[in-house]
Amino acid sequence: MSVTAAKGFTAAGIAAGIKDSGGADLALVVNNGPRHAAAGVFTSNRVKAAPVLWSEQVLKGGQVSAVVLNSGGANACTGAPGFQDTHATAEKVAEALGHSAGEVAVASTGLIGTRLPMDKLLPGVDKAVAALSAHGGEKAAIAIKTTDTVHKTAVAEGAGWTVGGMAKGAGMLAPGLATMLVVLTTDAELDQPELDRALRAATRTTFDRIDSDGCMSTNDTVLLLSSGASGVTPGYDEFAEAVRTVCDDLGQQLIRDAEGASKDIRVEVVGAASEEDAVEAGRSIARNNLLKCALHGEDPNWGRVLSAIGTTSAAFEPDKLNVAINGVWVCKDGSVGEDRELVDMRFREVRITADLAAGSESAVIWTNDLTADYVHENSAYSS
Amino acid sequence: MSVTAAKGFTAAGIAAGIKDSGGADLALVVNNGPRHAAAGVFTSNRVKAAPVLWSEQVLKGGQVSAVVLNSGGANACTGAPGFQDTHATAEKVAEALGHSAGEVAVASTGLIGTRLPMDKLLPGVDKAVAALSAHGGEKAAIAIKTTDTVHKTAVAEGAGWTVGGMAKGAGMLAPGLATMLVVLTTDAELDQPELDRALRAATRTTFDRIDSDGCMSTNDTVLLLSSGASGVTPGYDEFAEAVRTVCDDLGQQLIRDAEGASKDIRVEVVGAASEEDAVEAGRSIARNNLLKCALHGEDPNWGRVLSAIGTTSAAFEPDKLNVAINGVWVCKDGSVGEDRELVDMRFREVRITADLAAGSESAVIWTNDLTADYVHENSAYSS
């Protein structure tokens, strides 16, 4: 289903020869209208890849008629020649489709610091255009995989309208692990400001709160394209909830496919004085390497949770903190609570609840454990 | 040599039975005067262990006549009973030595969240007092080891005076990895404000800039005790440099003994607009798990250096950044520089130079690589 679940979209995924493996590496998503309103959010890393710089400009116009995505190279830290490569890619897509290059978004993922093989990529665009299909969403999702073990798609249905999407990566927007690329499509009729508002609201509590390894990519891109082909204009709240549902679904798929991970860890901070405090404390817990190792070893080491909270500026008193791991309150009032032997750690999902006892706000951050496989995969990646 | 290299100090290290292994686990350092001026710096974690809360109070008085240190338990997150244990330990030392408990500092290291076995610790104090010796520095250094593979000591000599020290851990003050405990002693005659100034100046550019795994301990403690037994008052600058030399030496020993590490990584940020910018960028590079994995795999992955710099608020332009790894400028002007194949990664020490091209300030941060051994050691630690 993927990006072609909504009416008005065609897509393709083909092998252009960018990847040495010969696998699929070029995806194209085309919005056939009648409308072309679009919204996008991008990495907050100040070192941005050429396609991010390009697509940010495209999205300022509020109209996107096609998105071209490649795996096999991030086109980041490639200077002015790299930006020219992105520009040439957009021009090539525009020419092949009879659109304007100013409405063609570009996204790339792969190694930083190497130029894309344009002699393969540009002919690949022709091949992708020839393969465009109203059933091409699945192939497009496959073509953007890098270290992903599975391709990721999701769909939410409204009354006569649909939101669909695809994602690659095992990361997030800000921060971001491996690059996350996401394209969402809808046939609902909405104005650009509503699309933008719905997308930002959805990413703020989904992709922005998955923090697999605390590293932020140069290439993260999430786009939402509307064709209006259903002729239906849903209420904003209903539409926003559908977008959030698809983002949440894709985000969970990213966490479950994180490089080398053996645990999916849900960190919920409750009792916070503000949502910002809850997010800050949750992120600090989610990024603590010592805790991530302990959870890998199925050790409910709550001391490392307190130690992580202690590095934040969130409102709390150390002797009021409570921590539950998989439902057992192993830390009460900043000290030893229920017997840690009661914590069952056998399953892939681990639930940590940290109660700051300072208010009524909360937030959920998802992360993964730190494993020898993560080290192996990321030490061998570019060699 | 260690803490008994300076005149006026005795020390001991004995097995009190706190560690299940039966190894040495209790150290005592006594300042026999004639002076007892002291300074201390402690973890900036807001969740502080009981001995840190106690010793901060002691140091406010500016006088320390003895330090008692234990491995085998951190006495952190142990509530009011844990604080009473620390208090009782100080009282016991004071009673045995005929001092005031208000001049006895306490430091602990080991697992968070478990009470100390006071029935073993208190008799151990008598045993340690009986073992005090002007040659006991080495044994004291051995008794504070936890996961340390070697004990750490250092000495700097002035004209007629000495600064000596011992350390345990593989971490730092703020942030801190495994707990770092450091006791420095000197027989130089200095007033407390000068001791304090010299210690803070030294730790700011040594222990505070080793960042093995970005995690901050609840127990980090660095103390400087002066006996004045040499009768010599050195110039402040000369003394401060000796303290810095000993701190730097011990800090390097901590990095070289970091848990599971196979590389010692020197991150130097140059061309920064301010020292704060240099430290922020250096710490961001030093904490990037993806880079730390790449360096473990001997992969000079400069894209991950740029990606880490991009997450900071330091002054820089992305297309002006330069990065050298082991002397090879693999990134120039934010893009591909010299051939990465020229980088020789075979040795334990890795040198990264990041040039922000925004000023003339610089800073050095030390870190380690991320390895499967680190994961193993920290996932199996408490079980």
* B107-133 pLDDT, tens digit each: 999 888 899 999 999 999 999 999 999
Which 255-314 residues of chain A touch chain B by CB within 8 A? 287-290, 293-294, 296-297, 299, 301-304, 306-312
**SS3 of residue A63 by DSSP:** strand
Q: Is B378 annotated as a binding residue?
A: yes
Q: Are B293 and A39 in contact (CB under 8 A)?
A: no
Task: State mean pLDDT over B183-211.
Answer: 94
B132 touching A (Cβ < 8 Å): no
- For position A176, what pLDDT does the model report? 43
Q: How confident is the model at residue B214 (pLDDT cuts 50, 70, 90)?
A: confident
Interchain proximity B335–A304, CB inside 8 Å: no
The number of C-alpha atoms within 13 Å of B58 and in the hemisphere containing its C-beta is: 36
- For position A177, what pLDDT does the model report? 44
- Residues A195, A196, A202, CA angle at the centre, nearest 5°? 90
Q: How far apart are CA B351 and CA A95, in angstroms?
A: 47
Q: How far apart are CA A179 and CA B360, in angstroms?
A: 33
Who has greater pLDDT, B290 or A345? A345
Contacts of A370 (CB under 8 A, 6+ apart): A213, A289, A292, A293, A296, B289, B375
A84 touching B (Cβ < 8 Å): no
Task: State mean pLDDT over B92-96.
Answer: 98
- Residues A72, A75, A81, CA angle at the centre, nearest 5°? 135
Q: Which residue has the tokens 């202690």?
A: A310
Nearest CB neighbour to B113, from listed A311, A333, A336: A336
Paired with A29 in beta bridges are A11, A67
For testing the chain A interface, which of B112, B375, B376 should be mutated: the one with the most A CBs within 10 Å? B375
Q: A109, A153, A179, A312: which one is catalytic?
A: A179
- For position A354, what pLDDT does the model report? 98
Nearest CB neighbour to A288, from listed B215, B318, B375: B215
Least confident of A47-61, B51-65, B207-221: B207-221
User: Encoding tokens for residue A151?
Assistant: 């391709």
Q: How far apart are CA A132 and CA A13, in angstroms?
A: 8
Q: Report the mean per-residue pLDDT for chain B.
A: 93
**Cα A231 to chain center, whole Å?**
29
Who has greater pLDDT, A210 or B323? B323
Which 198-257 residues of chain A touch chain B by CB within 8 A? 213-218
Q: At what angle do helices B79-97 and B50-60 cross, to 10 degrees?
A: 50
Phi, psi of A301 (to 5 degrees): -80, 80
* B128-156 pLDDT, tens digit each: 999 999 999 999 999 999 888 899 999 99
Distance in Å, alpha carbon of B306 to nearest chain A alpha carbon: 7
* B367-378 pLDDT, tens digit each: 999 999 888 888
Distance in Å, alpha carbon of B82 to nearest chain A alpha carbon: 9
- For position A175, what pLDDT does the model report? 44
Q: How far apart are CA A86 and CA A109, in angstroms?
A: 13
CB atoms within 10 A of CB A363: 21
Q: Are A57 and A48 in contact (CB under 8 A)?
A: no
Alpha helices in chain B (DSSP H): 50-60, 79-97, 118-131, 137-143, 192-205, 236-256, 275-286, 289-296, 302-309, 372-380
- For position B45, what pLDDT does the model report? 87
- The structural domains of chain B, ordered by start, are 2-256 (3.60.70.12), 264-380 (3.10.20.340)
Q: Is B133 annotated as a binding residue?
A: no
B134 touching A (Cβ < 8 Å): no
DSSP A7: T
Interchain proximity B309–A380, CB inside 8 Å: no
Inform me whether the pLDDT recorded for B210 exceeds 90. Answer: no
User: Encoding tokens for residue B87?
Assistant: 């208090």
Q: B43, B179, B185, B353: which one is catalytic?
A: B179
Chain B residues lying within 8 Å of A114, measured CB to CB: 336
- For position B170, what pLDDT does the model report? 65
To the nearest 10°, the Cα dihedral for A95, A97, A101, A102? 160
Q: How far apart are CA B84 and CA B72, in angstroms?
A: 18
- For position A210, what pLDDT does the model report? 85
Interchain proximity B319–A79, CB inside 8 Å: yes
Task: State mean pLDDT over B312-328.
Answer: 96
Which 11-40 residues of chain B touch chain A by CB within 8 A? none
Q: Which residue has the tokens 């697992």?
A: B111
Least confident of A271-285, B3-17, B248-262, B309-323: B248-262
- Residues A330, A334, A337, CA angle at the centre, nearest 5°? 25
User: Encoding tokens for residue A369?
Assistant: 């454990």
ipTM metric: 0.85
Spell out where B140-209 has E strands.
152-157, 162-168, 181-186
Q: Is B367 a catalytic residue?
A: no
How would you list the strands of the sheet with B9-14, edge to edge? B9-14, B26-31, B66-70, B104-108
Nearest CB neighbour to A375, from listed B82, B304, B371: B371
**SS3 of residue A136 by DSSP:** coil
Q: How far apart are CA A375 and CA B377, in angstroms?
A: 14
User: Encoding tokens for residue B247?
Assistant: 């701190």
Residues of chain A with pLDDT under 70: 170-179, 380-383
DSSP class per residue in A154-167:
EEEE-SS-EEEEEE
Nearest CB neighbour to B113, from listed A111, A302, A375: A302
Q: Are A345 and A327 in contact (CB under 8 A)?
A: no
Nearest CB neighbour to B293, from listed A112, A319, A375: A375
Binding residues of A for substrate: 146, 168, 179, 259, 378, 383
Inform me whether the pLDDT recorded for B87 exceeds 90. Answer: yes
Interchain proximity B331–A113, CB inside 8 Å: yes
